[in-house]
Amino acid sequence: MISGRNPRVRNPRSAAIPERWLTGLSPPVQPPSFFSVRRACHKIADMTAPGTLFRPFLRLVRITILGKEFEVPENNPLLRCFQYLAPEQVSYGRFCWNEDCQYCRVTFDLGEATPTRAAISCKLMVQNGMRINEVTAEIKYCLRTLEIGKAD
């Protein structure tokens, strides 16, 4: 044994490790204060609380999907409104939610004598009086419990 060196330290660069770490003795532990426990609980609550699915909304707006009227939360993308109407089915749908898949494509207008437009519903914000005239097979399948487009 070389004097002045710890025989348990093989790497000379790690020689600065305190002796108590090598012997397994830990530094004295202070009991946590009330405030640090409360702060930790709030952090855990923030981490585990599920984020809300919908953007904040104060009221519902009326839309028509393939001739049938529904009320959905304002200030939300149309696909999210579909999810409001059929939560489970839309959640399990094959939607990317970021403009890649195109499974959420719809055609819509904003009432009588307004132009018909095509859009992807994951990016299209819902508006009061919106009329969705055509939807993809994926959306139709996800909204099957609403019995829309039965005449088709």
Q: Among candidates 113, 55, 127, which has minimal Cα distance to 84? A: 55
> Does 108 help bind ligand FES (rule: CB under 6 A)?
no
**Count of residues in contact with ligand FES, rule CB under 6 A:** 12
Q: Is 54 in the site for ligand FES (CB under 6 A)?
A: no
Q: Is 82 in the site for ligand FES (CB under 6 A)?
A: no
Strand 105-109 to 130-135 pairing:
antiparallel
Distance between CA atoms of residues 64 and 30, nearest Å: 62
Rounded least distance, CB 80 to ligand FES, Å: 10
Determine if 103 is a binding residue for ligand FES (CB under 6 A): yes
Does residue 106 belong to the site contacting ligand FES (CB under 6 A)?
no
Of 109, 110, 108, 106, the C-alpha closest to 121 is 106
Helix/strand/coil for 115: coil
Q: Which is nearer to ligand FES, 43 or 144 (CB)?
A: 144
Using CB under 6 A, pick the residue from 85, 90, 120, 126 that binds ligand FES. 120
For ligand FES, which is the closer residue by CB, 37 or 96? Answer: 96
As a whole number of angstroms, the distance between CA 19 and CA 105 comes to 66
* 41 interacts with ligand FES by CB under 6 A: no
Residue 97 binding ligand FES, by CB under 6 A: yes
Least distance from C-beta 48 to ligand FES, angstroms?
A: 27
Following DSSP, what letter does each residue of 24-76 receive, concatenated? Answer: TPPPPPPPPPHHHHHHHHHHHHHHHSPPPSS---SSEEEEEETTEEEEEESSS
Residues of this chain that bind ligand FES (CB under 6 A): 79, 95-97, 99-104, 120, 122
